[in-house]
Structure 1
Amino acid sequence: MTMLKTLVRAAAAAPLAALAFFAVPPASAQDWPTKPVHLIVPFSPGGVTDIAARVVGQKLSEMWGQQVVVENRPGAGGTIGVDAAVRSAPDGTTLLMATNGEITINPALYKNLTHDPQKDLVPIAMVTNTPLLWAANANAPYGSLVEFIAAAKAKPGDIAYSSPGAGTMNHLTAEWFAMITGTKLLHVPYKGGAPAAAAIAGGEVPVSVLAVSSALPHVKSGKVKVLGMTTQERTKLAPDWPSAREAGIADFDASIWVGLFAPKGTPAGIVAKVAKDLKAAIADPAVVARLNTAGAEAAGLDGEAFVARIRADTARYAQIIKAAGIEIN
């Protein structure tokens, strides 16, 4: 554990000149936008990224007097959509809504990317944050994170957990959890969050790392119980669920965030205007309510703070991928 923390800190401290946020020339955005803005989502409709794009995009359309057109470009773990955004003209007419997976995980996971998301994109702001949690089948013999950890230590490698797929944020969160708790778990990848949740509801596997939105229907049905959050704080979406910190797990805070990005070279004036208007949009109570219904919390982290979060996440997940030997063929 000490070695992992040292590696992460060392990597996080390295210069990240790649983040183009600091290299964009100033420009006036007084008349922008003068035509529709295309918002690329690197996943199919219906997921947390798509919902964030449509909810926020609708509000920005009202504010700008121009249509925000959501374009779904799914495939290859989000790399196809990111590639399309990177290759777009840097004039503010194309933006990207992406998760920490595409921005901070994929560079360490995929060896043949045709782009570098941290060199080729300008980070504007974090839009939403979706908490993750450990959930278990209702008949599992443990009812809390403390009991789950004890069971996993008693039988190393015996307890299986489902995830939406290899290399996903849920997968890396489980591996990170295993590293810091000194446990060994068996990974069983599924094709998406819904099948992974259905697997524990049906008893195919005893536990899983799930997003709140994936867990809720099964919790309400009584087939799944929540062991605890993977975050240091309880979530406002379900305040009765205990945090990782309450289970005595420090230095562990994992969630799926969705951020807004622009192609490298987009004028700083436009980036600043989008950031300002986005902050106003996600402060709107109606927008917040719609995001909460989808299992996401409005974020609003921007500027240096967002860049710092990207830097820290990139270092952390690169080391987890290496330490866990995760590979995508």
Structure 2
Amino acid sequence: MPTRRQSLQALLATAAAVTFPALANDTWPARPIRMIVPFPPGSSPDLIARIVTEKLAQVLGQPVVIENRPGAGGNIGTGLVAKAAPDGYTLLFTINGPLVTAPSLYRNLSYDPMKQLAPVTLVATSPNVLVVDARLPVHNLREFVALAKSKPGALNYGSVGNGSAAHLAMEQLKAMAGIDLEHVPYPGFPQITTAIVGGQIQAGFMVPAIAMPMVNAGKLRLLAVTTTGRTALLPAVPTVAESGYPGFEAISWQAILAPAGTPASIVDRLYRELVKIIGSEDVRERMRAQYFSPAGTAPASLRQMMALEKARWERVIRAAGVRPEN
């Protein structure tokens, strides 16, 4: 039988175990926070992350330090966060690829985004745009599809790698339109732009921030956007869906997540502060300048979006037989 003293010590130990984490959460953050961006400096997620973290550091009273950890389509940096301590001092700023398409593409992915990451908020969304060489004799998507059908396999398109959003968007269009195009992977969108202007390839889905300067210069022709409805970012541009392919959608999005197990109080505070930041007019203007629409959703909404997008793109990947090495 334990003595009264032993029982009291046990009770105090239990109380401490409950109280100390709560106190730790109340004092969070007490030191700088790492924001892992699994893409290189100057990339679209890096640019948007810097807009957000600049404000987040101000409201939290601690530095939020961006750490670029590129590689394997974002999987390396994402895996680092999935395995990090769930203490609120390591966060992830990433795009949809490592969260919703990587599990279907990589047989030996080192992390499970649905189990090892805790959604915080959807930060922003952006359409992709279908562009072609301005010298090509097409002025809309219907004419492009007609040209492709008249020359099966003769037209080439570029993407930023096998399984990338640009690759999967074109595979989706190929399946819906019944056309045959040859895929040519490139290291980045600037190289795709150079290849189209140089005549090595004829088309590609691209992010607007890269494509629009060349569209405005008359080097590329913009045929369609990939949102389900017209976007306020490019209101005069028709969608792929309205151009004859209802249901077509291929947006890019960016989100912030934490390691699974991060205290709910920390996730909730991050969410509340980020929603206010994303809703501020100066941040919204800076995002729109990069052709992103500000978002700011609850963690549960982001988790639901991840699940739906994962299921949708898994169907495209399986139907097209896409593999990272193909």
TM-score, shorter chain, exceeding 0.5: yes
In the alignment, structure 2 segments of 5+ residues that lack a partner are 1-20
- Paired residue type of 1:244: V
Q: Give the Cα separation in 2 of the matches to 1:125 and 1:181.
A: 35
User: Could you tell me which residue of structure 2 aligns to residue 239 of structure 1?
Assistant: 235
Matches within 5 A, 1:31-110: 31-110=27-106
Offset, 1:195: 0.7
Structure 1 vs Structure 2 CA RMSD: 1.8
- Paired residue type of 2:270: V
Q: Give the Cα separation in 2 of the matches to 1:181 and 1:301.
A: 34
Does residue 1:294 correspond to 2:312, yes or no? no
- Paired residue type of 1:235: T
Q: Give the Cα separation in 1 of the matches to 2:136 and 2:34.
A: 46
Offset, 1:28: 8.5
Comparing 106-115 with 132-141, greater Cα deviation is found at: 106-115
Offset, 1:27: 9.5
- Paired residue type of 1:83: G
- Structure with the bigger RCO (C-alpha within 8 Å, sep 6+) is 1
User: Could you tell me which residue of structure 2 aligns to residue 17 of structure 1?
Assistant: none
Does residue 1:170 correspond to 2:166, yes or no? yes
Offset, 1:312: 1.2
SS in 1 for 2:153: coil
Asked if 1 retains the 8 angstrom alpha-carbon contact of 2:241 and 2:249, the reply is no
Offset, 1:245: 3.0
Q: Give the Cα separation in 2 of the matches to 1:167 and 1:222.
A: 29
Aligned length in residues: 305
Mark the structure with the bigger radius of gyration.
2
Asked if 2 retains the 8 angstrom alpha-carbon contact of 1:129 and 1:297, the reply is yes
Distance 1:220 1:64, change over 3 A: same
- Paired residue type of 1:286: D
SS in 2 for 1:119: helix
Q: Give the Cα separation in 1 of the matches to 2:100 and 2:166.
A: 14
User: Could you tell me which residue of structure 2 aligns to residue 214 of structure 1?
Assistant: 210
User: Could you tell me which residue of structure 1 aligns to residue 307 of structure 2?
Assistant: 311
2:134 aligned residue (135, 138, 142): 138
User: Could you tell me which residue of structure 1 aligns to residue 14 of structure 2?
Assistant: none
Asked if 2 retains the 8 angstrom alpha-carbon contact of 1:201 and 1:218, the reply is no
Offset, 1:323: 1.2
- Paired residue type of 1:43: F
SS in 1 for 2:291: coil
Q: Give the Cα separation in 2 of the matches to 1:281 and 1:67.
A: 16
2:264 aligned residue (268, 290, 294): 268
SS in 2 for 1:282: helix
Asked if 1 retains the 8 angstrom alpha-carbon contact of 2:159 and 2:185, the reply is yes
Distance 1:234 1:70, change over 3 A: same
Using the size of structure 2 for normalisation, the TM-score is 0.89
SS in 2 for 1:78: helix
- Paired residue type of 2:210: S
Q: Give the Cα separation in 2 of the matches to 1:310 and 1:152.
A: 33
Q: Deviations over 1:146-177 (max 9, x none)?
A: 11122222333222111111111100011011
Using the size of structure 1 for normalisation, the TM-score is 0.88
Does residue 1:191 correspond to 2:187, yes or no? yes
Comparing 285-294 with 260-269, greater Cα deviation is found at: 285-294
Asked if 2 retains the 8 angstrom alpha-carbon contact of 1:95 and 1:262, the reply is yes
